[in-house]
Amino acid sequence: MVLGTYKEAVSARSTDSKILDVSQDGGIVSALLCYALDEGIIEGAVVAGTPDEDWRPVPTVVTSADEVIAAAGTKYSMSPTLSALKEATRQYGLEKVGVVATPCQTQGLRKAQAYPFTRFVAEKVKLIIGIYCMENFPMASLDTFATAKLGFDSLQDATKMDIGKGKFWLTKDGEDNGLAIKETHGYEQAGCNICNDYVCEWADVSTGSVGSPDGWSTVLTRTDDGASVFNAAVEAGLIETKPMDEVKPGLPLLEKLAKGKKDKNNAERERRAKMGVKVPTIY
Amino acid sequence: MFEKLKKAFGGSKDEAAPKVEEKVEAAVETPVEAAPEAAPEAAPAKPRIGYIHLSGCTGDAMSLTENYDILSTVLTDMIDIVYGQTLVDKWIHGTYAEEMPEMDLCLIEGSVCLQDEHSVHELLEARKKSGLIAAFGSCAVTGCFTTFARGGQQAQPKHESFLPISSLVKVDLALPGCPVAPEVIAKAVVALCEGDLDYLKPAMDWAACDKGCGCDVLTNVIRQGLCTGCGTCALACPTRAMGFSEGRPSCDRDRCIKCGSCYMMCPRSWLPEGRIKKETGL
Ligand SMILES: Cc1cc2nc3c(=O)[nH]c(=O)nc-3n(C[C@H](O)[C@H](O)[C@H](O)COP(=O)(O)OP(=O)(O)OC[C@H]3O[C@@H](n4cnc5c(N)ncnc54)[C@H](O)[C@@H]3O)c2cc1C
Ligand code: SF4
Ligand code: SF4
Ligand code: SF4
């Protein structure tokens, strides 16, 4: 299955305007974290914040709805999220932790659960909210897009960053400036070129923008825990949903992109293996 | 009891209580090394486990005992500890020359001091007497802390060379960690009792490992174009030697104790897809 194992696919968005004002898409990540915190399902979570407001993501432990909302929005650079998981369980002493993770971060986390070589950490993760991910960029690549390609004085001038409709968008002075995705090729990190998971197949719940209209998210519930948290948040009125087959472009586009990523990056993996360069050993 | 344990540590649910004898046979017949010549008179009812304490700090044995919830079950129902200084009072040493028993698995903690005749002897003897040898904790696997030893201290100034045990004997299984985590010990013991070699495969493939360092992620991950900046290596590091710069791990080598955990845990070194799918149902 090109989208991994899932129970249900829906289009959804938060019903809270405080979240929708700042969220990247439907605010599903933030809504779920707030709900799980409120219900005591988790005591805190690891997210990617930008303390210096310079778009550089910094792994951050949050324990309140306000902190969750302050960290909303996508930063298109690497956030070594799992490094802060240690902080969450040690300094913060959290026993029930949520994690917002890209597919590669989820792989690290699931590996640490299956082979717990690090004591008393992985077992405390109670909710993995996965975000779809096609690729990620070094900060210097983002600088290039803003300055050399879009003519900004600085990346800092951008107030929103998004990828969609075939373009990389930077908003400045209320105006959206698009850069063809083609122009971003060759600027992603090299590790992404062998990544074959688009929709975060090992998360409890996965979400992203592709498949749903603007301001909405496509959600895949995967594990029992993930489905129960999501459904409870819907029931509590924090999230509204629409059946996936009633929205455009819907799952076909998501499947197409997921398959495209797998095919391309599996080919790269084979190419590297043939050259004799290291690729991960899969057990 | 077995069922409870298996459930606690994600063992196969469908299987009935395993015939331990068969399973142990299976484990001993691993690709690595044949069981010792002198066959045991009677098939053992439970795996016979030994624990040897070479130049280690006992942290790994402590970790074993930190499986509080299941420790008594493990010790009474699942395994027999037949050799060891800390967990049972039975070991060979200079004057008290008791013979080392046959062991299905011998856990060896600590590196081996080349200038300590007795340590070398005990290690070589263990190899003869054991079906499987596990390098138990990073000192045994990579040398860890003892990598930095250089002699010149009282009362044995000559004790200066400490090697990972795979330098002297064939190791079948490596369980790194400083100390090795309680959970992974429990999972490995359950896998061993069940003959679940799939689970142990990565640890077996790691058996020949004899060095570890924060630079491994540089050499084997970043430089190979594999790093994703996920942060798992920093999660694994016991000394917080691993920082990040431009989305890439960067090791403070004055903090690094060469335990090898960072590279072991990196999802871009190896990824247990089968096991993850089984445990999560995904
Ligand atoms: C590098 C990257 C690439 C992506 N590519 C795609 C794609 O190709 N297609 C698609 O549909 N969706 C993609 N997404 C996901 C999408 O951008 C949104 O993150 C997702 O839809 C969640 O939106 P939301 O409104 O529910 O979340 P919000 O409520 O806005 O919360 C977003 C959460 O993501 C966390 N976060 C932000 N940046 C990062 C980061 N770099 N690493 C880890 N966590 C982070 C924040 O801390 C916050 O908790 C990508 C995300 C990232 C980080
Ligand atoms: S494409 Fe893959 S490797 Fe790259 S950031 Fe996304 S999930 Fe990680
Ligand atoms: S665990 Fe591996 S892939 Fe992740 S940041 Fe460390 S070296 Fe890079
Ligand atoms: S960086 Fe940390 S985990 Fe890696 S070898 Fe050094 S001490 Fe061990």
pLDDT tens for chain A, 283 residues: list them: 899 999 999 999 999 999 999 999 999 999 999 999 999 999 999 999 999 889 999 999 999 999 999 999 999 999 999 999 999 999 999 999 999 999 999 999 999 999 999 999 999 999 999 999 999 999 999 999 999 999 999 999 999 999 988 999 999 999 999 999 999 999 999 999 999 999 999 999 999 999 999 999 999 999 999 999 999 999 999 999 999 999 999 999 999 999 999 999 999 999 999 999 999 999 9
Q: Select from A80, A190, A279 the Cβ nearest to the Cβ of B234.
A: A80
Chain B environment of A91 (Cβ under 8 Å): none
Given an 8 Å threshold on Cβ–Cβ distance, is A108 in contact with B231? yes
Whether residue B144 has its Cβ less than 6 Å from ligand 4: no
Given an 8 Å threshold on Cβ–Cβ distance, is B205 in contact with A281? yes
Residues pairing with B113 in the sheet: B162
Cis peptide before B155 (omega within 30 of 0): yes
Query: If you measure from the C-alpha of residue A233 to the centroid of ligand 1, how many angstroms do you get, rounded to a whole number?
Result: 19
Tally of CB atoms within 10 A around A54: 12
Provide CB contacts within 8 A for A195, sequence distance 6+.
Answer: A103, A104, A133, A135, A261, A265, B228
Chain B environment of A120 (Cβ under 8 Å): 181-183
Gap between the Cα atoms of A229 and A99, Å rounded: 14
A141: contact with B, CB 8 A cutoff: no
By C-alpha distance, the chain B residue nearest A141 is: B246
- In this structure, chain A runs to a length of 283
Gap between the Cα atoms of A21 and A26, Å rounded: 10
Give the dihedral sign, CA A79/A81/A87/A92: positive
- What is each CA distance from A145 to A58, A253, B50, B246, in whole angstroms? 21, 26, 60, 17
Token couple for A39: 């219900």
DSSP conformation class of A77? B
Residues pairing with B97 in the sheet: none
Mind listing the pLDDT tens digit for each residue in A221-266?
A: 999 999 999 999 999 999 999 999 999 999 999 999 999 999 999 9
Alpha helices in B82-214 (DSSP H): 117-129, 138-142, 182-194, 197-205
Whether residue B239 has its Cβ less than 6 Å from ligand 4: yes
Please tell me the number of the ligand nearest to residue A101's CA: 1
Provide CB contacts within 8 A for B96, sequence distance 6+.
Answer: none
Gap between the Cα atoms of A104 and A90, Å rounded: 23
Q: Write down the pTM of the prediction.
A: 0.92
Closest ligand 3 atom, residue B247 Cα: 5
Mind listing the pLDDT tens digit for each residue in B204-214?
A: 999 988 899 99
A159-167 long-range Cβ contacts below 8 angstroms, 24+ apart: A160/A73, A161/A55, A161/A73, A161/A74, A161/A75, A161/A76, A162/A24, A162/A74, A163/A76, A163/A134, A164/A209, A164/A210, A164/A214
How many Å is the Cα radius of gyration of chain A?
Answer: 18
Provide CB contacts within 8 A for B255, sequence distance 6+.
Answer: B239, B240, B241
The pLDDT score that the predictor gives to residue B3 is 56
Gap between the Cα atoms of A83 and A74, Å rounded: 19
Which segments of chain B have a pLDDT < 70?
1-45, 93-98
Chain A environment of B232 (Cβ under 8 Å): 82, 105, 108-109, 111-112
